[in-house]
C-alpha cells in the first residue's frame, strides 16, 4: 500500500514524502487501523522492520492539537533509543506541529520539569525516569501507552518499573506493545494490563541473519589497527559501526583512526549525554561514516543505511554478537558483518558459531591466507588443534553471587572491573555468563589470583558480592 492512500492528514503525507517513504511496510499496514480505532495491540516484528513508524504515524494522526497536555507515552529501554524515537516523531509530525520530548536518566530533573511545562503532546521516556516525573505529578491524562522493545526491557529488569508506570496512568487508554520476540513474561504483562489485545505477528521470509554476509579474519591483537585501516580502504563502507568491548578500547582506537580518517566519531557510556547525542546525530546524518562504539549502541541505536559492522574484538556474550550485527541488514537492505579474531579470542568465537548454528567463513588475515573454509574435516582438525593448545593454558572459572534477578549487574560491569586490575589484560577475560542468581566468568593465563584479590570486598556497579573459584565437577 502507498502512504498517500492511507487515511491520514496531508501534513503527515508531506513529511513522509520528505523522508522518502512511499510504500508502507507490512507491520505499518497491519497495525494502522487498530491503532486509529484505539484498540490494544501486541505486535511481534523483527528489529529494523519499521515498527517505530507503525505506531508513530497513527498516534500523530490522533493527537488532539487543541489539548496542550501529553496524550501519548512511549516507553523505551535506553536513552539512545528515547532520543531516536523522539526524533522520528519530530520528523513525521513536522508539518503538523506535534511536540515531543525525550526523558531519560543523567539529565537534570529540573531541566526536564521545565520542558514538561511547555506543550508536549508525546513523551518518549525510559521507565525509571518517567516514574520520577509521575511521582511528582508531572505526567497525566494519557490516551496512548506504547511499550517499545518490550522483551528487551523485561530482560533488562524494568518489569516492576513498567508496572508502576501503568498503575499511575488512566485506565481508559490504548496500550500498544511492540517487540521483536514475545516471551512468557511479555504475555503475562499483556494479560495483566491490556484489554482483549489483537495480536499481529509479522513473519519474514528472510531471516535478518540471512541478509547479512558474515565473515571473519584471523588477526593478532597488535595487528588489528593496521588491518582495520586496510579493510576500510578496501571495503569503502558508506556507513560502518566498529564495535569494541570497553570504553578504553573505543577511546584508543578513535584516537588512532581519527589521525588517518577525519570522518570517524566515537560513542561510549563514559561520554556526556550531550556529546553522545551529537555523535549519534552526526553519524546518522552522514557527517561521519565510521562510528566506533561499545555495546551501548548495539541495542539502543537503530540507524538506517549501515552497510558494515566490524567486531574489532569478539564480544563476551554470544547474544551480543547477534545484536551487534543486527545494526546492518535492516528493513529491506543487506549488510556485511566482519569479525577480527585473535588466537585468544578463538574459543569465544567458536561459541558464537555454535550459538547461531552457522560456520562463519574465514576470509584470511595476517595468520591464515586461505580464502576458503569448506572442508569440514580440515576445519574440525584446526579447531581441535586450537582447543588442545588452549587446554594447556590455565583457565579458571570464577563466580559472583549476584545475577540478573538480585542485582543490576551487566557484562560491561565485569569487563570494566577486570580491565582496571593491574597486570590483567582484557584478553585474559574469557566467556561471561550472567544467570538469575549468579555470574560466572573465565580468567585465562593464570591471572585468577590477581582478579580474586582485586575484587575481594569490592563493589561492581553498586552491587556488593562474594567472589570464589568454581570447583570442577568430578566425573
Residue 40 to residues 165, 191, 234: CA-CA distances in angstroms?
Answer: 17, 11, 49
Output the pLDDT for position 93: 94
Residues of the chain within CATH 3.30.70.330 domain(s) are 395-469
Mark 33-50 as b/e (b = at least 16 C-beta within 10 Å): ebbbeebbbbbbbbbbbb
If you write DSSP's letter for every residue of 45-98 in order, what string do you get?
--TTSSHHHHHHHHHHHH--TT--S--EEEE-SSHHHHHHHHHHHHHHTTTTT-
* Distance in angstroms (rounded) separating the CA atoms of residues 6 and 89: 18
Strand partners, 468: 399
DSSP 8-state secondary structure symbol assigned to residue 2: B
Asked if the model's pLDDT at residue 385 lies above 70, the reply is no
Average predicted confidence (pLDDT) for the chain: 82
Contacts of 261 (CB under 8 A, 6+ apart): 232, 290
* Distance in angstroms (rounded) separating the CA atoms of residues 310 and 340: 8
Instruction: Check: CB of residue 257 under 8 Å from CB of residue 240.
Output: no
Burial label for 278, CB within 10 Å (0-12, 13-18, 19+), is middle
* Distance in angstroms (rounded) separating the CA atoms of residues 54 and 184: 24
* Distance in angstroms (rounded) separating the CA atoms of residues 13 and 21: 9
Burial label for 247, CB within 10 Å (0-12, 13-18, 19+), is buried
Instruction: Check: CB of residue 27 under 8 Å from CB of residue 54.
Output: yes
User: Which CATH superfamily includes the segment(s) 208-391?
Assistant: P-loop containing nucleotide triphosphate hydrolases (3.40.50.300)
Cα–Cα nearest to 159, from 202, 111, 192: 192
Output the pLDDT for position 472: 60
Express each pLDDT in 406-454 by its tens digit.
Answer: 777 777 778 778 877 888 877 778 878 887 778 888 888 888 889 898 8
* Distance in angstroms (rounded) separating the CA atoms of residues 313 and 324: 12
Express each pLDDT in 14-40 by its tens digit.
Answer: 999 988 888 888 889 899 999 999 999
Select, from the ranges 243-247, 357-361, 398-402, the one with the highest average predicted confidence (pLDDT). 243-247
- Architecture of 395-469 per CATH? 2-Layer Sandwich (3.30)
Helix axes 127-135, 109-117, angle to 10 degrees: 70
Query: What is the pTM assigned to this prediction?
Result: 0.61
Select the more confidently predicted residue: 65 or 373: 65
Helix axes 51-62, 26-36, angle to 10 degrees: 30
Express each pLDDT in 108-119 by its tens digit.
Answer: 788 888 888 887
Mapped onto helix, strand or coil, the DSSP state of residue 17 is helix
Express each pLDDT in 287-335 by its tens digit.
Answer: 999 999 988 655 556 777 899 999 999 998 887 888 788 888 766 577 8
If you write DSSP's letter for every residue of 220-282 in order, what string do you get?
-GGGHHHHHHHHHHHH--SSEEEE-SSHHHHHHHHHHHHHH-SSEEEE-TTS-HHHHHHHHHH
The C-alpha cell 538469575 sits at: 436
Residues of the chain within CATH 3.40.50.300 domain(s) are 3-201, 208-391
Local confidence band at 395 (pLDDT 50, 70, 90 cut-offs): confident
- Architecture of 3-201 per CATH? 3-Layer(aba) Sandwich (3.40)
Tell me how far the alpha carbon of residue 291 is from its chain's centroid. Answer: 15
Grid cell for residue 83: 532520543
Percent of the chain topping pLDDT 70: 85
- Long-range contacts for 25-31 (Cβ within 8 Å, ≥24 apart)? 25/49, 25/50, 25/53, 25/54, 25/331, 26/202, 27/51, 27/54, 27/200, 27/202, 28/53, 28/54, 28/57, 29/1, 30/54, 30/200, 30/202, 31/55, 31/58, 31/176, 31/200
Q: Which range, of 45-49, 244-248, 326-330, averages the lowest pLDDT? A: 45-49
Helix axes 376-391, 346-356, angle to 10 degrees: 130
Express each pLDDT in 120-169 by its tens digit.
Answer: 899 999 888 888 887 666 556 789 999 998 887 887 778 888 988 888 88
Amino acid at each position: 500500500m502507498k502512504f498517500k492512500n492511507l487515511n491520514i492528514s496531508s501534513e503527515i503525507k508531506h513529511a513522509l514524502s520528505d523522508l522518502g517513504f512511499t510504500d508502507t511496510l507490512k507491520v505499518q499496514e497491519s497495525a494502522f487501523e487498530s491503532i486509529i480505532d484505539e484498540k490494544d495491540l501486541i505486535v511481534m516484528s523483527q528489529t529494523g522492520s519499521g515498527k517505530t513508524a507503525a505506531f508513530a504515524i497513527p498516534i500523530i494522526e490522533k493527537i488532539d492539537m487543541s489539548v496542550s497536555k501529553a496524550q501519548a507515552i512511549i516507553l523505551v529501554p535506553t536513552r539512545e533509543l528515547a532520543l531516536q524515537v523522539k526524533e522520528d516523531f519530530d520528523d513525521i509530525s513536522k508539518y503538523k506541529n506535534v511536540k515531543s520530548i525525550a526523558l531519560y536518566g543523567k539529565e537534570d530533573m529540573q531541566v526536564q520539569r521545565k520542558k514538561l511545562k511547555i506543550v508536549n503532546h508525546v513523551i518518549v521516556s525510559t521507565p525509571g525516569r518517567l516514574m520520577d516525573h509521575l511521582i511528582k505529578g508531572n505526567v497525566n491524562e494519557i490516551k496512548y501507552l506504547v511499550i517499545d522493545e518490550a522483551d528487551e526491557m523485561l530482560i533488562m529488569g524494568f518489569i516492576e518499573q513498567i508496572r508502576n508506570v501503568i498503575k499511575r496512568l488512566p485506565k481508559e487508554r490504548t496500550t500498544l506493545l511492540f517487540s521483536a520476540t514475545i516471551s512468557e513474561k511479555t504475555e503475562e504483562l499483556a494479560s495483566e494490563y491490556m484489554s482483549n489485545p489483537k495480536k499481529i505477528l509479522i513473519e519474514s521470509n528472510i531471516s535478518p541473519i540471512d541478509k547479512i554476509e558474515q565473515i571473519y579474519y584471523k588477526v593478532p591483537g597488535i595487528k588489528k589497527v593496521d588491518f582495520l585501516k586496510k579493510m576500510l580502504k578496501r571495503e569503502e563502507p558508506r556507513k560502518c559501526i566498529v564495535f569494541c568491548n570497553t570504553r578504553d578500547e573505543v577511546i584508543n582506537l578513535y584516537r588512532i583512526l581519527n589521525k588517518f580518517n577525519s570522518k570517524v566519531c566515537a560513542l561510549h557510556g563514559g561520554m556526556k549525554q550531550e556529546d553522545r547525542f551529537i555523535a549519534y546525530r552526526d553519524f546518522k546524518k552522514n557527517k561521519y561514516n565510521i562510528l566506533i562504539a561499545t555495546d551501548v549502541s548495539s541495542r539502543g541505536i537503530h540507524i538506517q543505511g549501515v552497510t558494515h559492522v566490524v567486531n574489532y574484538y569478539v564480544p563476551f556474550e554470544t547474544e551480543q554478537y547477534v545484536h551487534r550485527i543486527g545494526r546492518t541488514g535492516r528493513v529491506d537492505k543487506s549488510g556485511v558483518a566482519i569479525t577480527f579474531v585473535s588466537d585468544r579470542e578463538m574459543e569465544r568465537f567458536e561459541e558464537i558459531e555454535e550459538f547461531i548454528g552457522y560456520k562463519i567463513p574465514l576470509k584470511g588475515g595476517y595468520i591464515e591466507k586461505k580464502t576458503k573454509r569448506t572442508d569440514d574435516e580440515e576445519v574440525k582438525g584446526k579447531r581441535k588443534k586450537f582447543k588442545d593448545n588452549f587446554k594447556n593454558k590455565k583457565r579458571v572459572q570464577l563466580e559472583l553471587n549476584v545475577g540478573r534477578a538480585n542485582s543490576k549487574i551487566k557484562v560491561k560491569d565485569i569487563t570494566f572491573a577486570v580491565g582496571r586490575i593491574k597486570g590483567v589484560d582484557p584478553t585474559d577475560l574469557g566467556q561471561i555468563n550472567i544467570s538469575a542468581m549468579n555470574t560466572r566468568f573465565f580468567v585465562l593465563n593464570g591471572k585468577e589470583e590477581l582478579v580474586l584479590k582485586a575484587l575481594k570486598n569490592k563493589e561492581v556497579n553498586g552491587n556488593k558480592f562474594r567472589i570464589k573459584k568454581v570447583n570442577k565437577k568430578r566425573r
